[in-house]
Amino acid sequence: MMISTKGRYALRVMIDLAENYGKGYVPMKEVAERQNISLKYLERILPVLTKNNMIEGLQGKGGGYRLTSEPAGYRVGDILRLTEGDLAPVACLSCDADACARVESCKTLPMWTEFYRLTNAYFDGITLADLME
């Protein structure tokens, strides 16, 4: 499994907003400069986070983005699943996979299933508050 630039940048944006939690809306231009991410790339990530109520935006003077909850309420796993999709290590475990004809005889399925469980548990055990420390 490889986390894409989109997932890594989404985490950096969310950590930046977490570090500014309670200070009002943060202009994305400032986040882009601090995180060394192009504003154009951020414009591809922000709608996903906004649509899923992770952040909220305000247009105009004094506008920008902010978290909708406190940093401890955001799990890394949730952010990665939004930006990366399912974190399944093999196609047969992904959410929208067709039933595998070999499921009954597959010798590796238990290994992949446990790896998938461990991956999700690991990322779900880390919050933005943890990453800020």
For the segment 20-72, what is each residue's pLDDT rounded down to a tens digit? Answer: 999 999 999 999 999 999 999 999 999 999 999 999 999 988 899 999 999 99
Place of tokens 């790339």: 41
Could you tell me the pTM of the whole model? 0.90
Q: Give me the phi and psi of 113, to 5 degrees please.
A: -65, -45
- pLDDT at position 82 over 90: yes
Please check whether residue 130 is in contact with residue 14, taking contact to mean a CB–CB distance below 8 angstroms.
no
